[in-house]
A and B are shown apart, each in its own frame.
Chain A
Amino acid sequence: SQQGEEDPQALSIQEGENATMNCSYKTSINNLQWYRQNSGRGLVHLILIRSNEREKHSGRLRVTLDTSKKSSSLLITASRAADTASYFCATVGNSGYALNFGKGTSLLVTP
């Protein structure tokens, strides 16, 4: 069942700007993951953050997790045109075995 809800649904920025996407979820999680999908392609795993972690970095990506608010954010710094894609958050519950994906944020980075 769907759990993550990304916000905004669509985001348009210029190269060099930062892009922030948010994700909210409803139930307890074991971990939360962010994925990227180029149009018509499979998903690429970006970063995983566990429920006992608050922040993680990977290159130009920064992910935060607030379990008290059941929310996460993905920050892409110094965006590039190649970052144009849809970004999904996905949650793994403590008892569940599956990833539950949100509806995604469509990011457009213009040169």
Chain B
Amino acid sequence: GAVVSQHPSWVICKSGTSVKIECRSLDFQATTMFWYRQFPKQSLMLMATSNEGSKATYEQGVEKDKFLINHASLTLSTLTVTSAHPEDSSFYICSATTSGNTGELFFGEGSRLTVL
């Protein structure tokens, strides 16, 4: 299947700093990318949907100024956690699709963020 790569796979940062996570589709063009957040032993919660070249659509309760999403190309989307705090510590997973969201999604391996 298609490959989605996330980087970094884990990151530790100090409170108040910003962290950028990259999501790349390696062998296909991703018209749409999704960002999810997962707490330990919990399910995935959709944070936002991004389409290449347009603004991301955020789910209710997700602060768009806190979680900046940029989908600058058909193979790259970035999530920036601004002014991170310990409660932002989580596992962030991106996924990508080429054919809208009625087909298969390809998931990255996830990025574990720990904010001290």
Chain A residues with CB under 8 Å of chain B are 1-2, 30-31, 33, 35, 40-45, 48, 88, 92, 96-104, 106
User: Which residues of chain A are within 8 angstroms of B102 by Cβ–Cβ distance?
Assistant: 30-31, 92
- Chain B residues near A1 (CB-CB < 8 A): 59-60
Other-chain contact of B43, A31, A88, A97 (Cβ < 8 Å)? A88
Contact at B105–A45, with CB atoms within 8 Å?
yes
Q: Are B107 and A100 in contact (CB under 8 A)?
A: no
- B112 near A98: Cβ-Cβ < 8 Å: no
* Cβ–Cβ < 8 Å partners of A41 in chain B: 109-110
User: B46 is contacted by which of A43, A100, A103, A106 (Cβ under 8 Å)?
Assistant: A100
Residue contact A40 to B34, C-beta cutoff 8 Å: no
Contact: A48 with B103, CB < 8 Å?
yes
Instruction: List the A side residues contacting B110 at CB < 8 Å.
Output: 40-42
B112 pairs with A101, CB closer than 8 A: no
Q: Interface size for chain B: under 10, 10 to 19, 20 to 34, or 35 or more residues?
A: 20 to 34
Pick the contact of B93: A42, A48, A92 (CB < 8 A). Answer: A42
Are A101 and B93 in touch, CB under 8 angstroms?
no
**Docked pose: A20 CA to B110 CA in angstroms:** 27
Contact between A2 and B43, CB atoms less than 8 A apart: yes
Cross-interface CB contact of B49 among A31, A35, A98, cutoff 8 Å:
A98
Task: Determine the distance from Cα of A100 to Cα of B43 in the docked complex, in whole angstroms.
Answer: 9
* Min C-beta distance of B45 to chain A, whole Å: 8
Residue of A nearest to B93 (CB): A42
8 Å CB contact of A45 from B42, B59, B104: B104
Identify the closest chain A residue to B94 (Cβ): A42
Partner of B112, one of A40, A97, A103, A104: A40
B46 near A42 with CB under 8 A, answer no
9 A-B pairs in the complex with CB atoms less than 8 angstroms apart: A40-B112, A41-B110, A43-B107, A88-B44, A97-B57, A99-B34, A99-B46, A101-B44, A101-B46
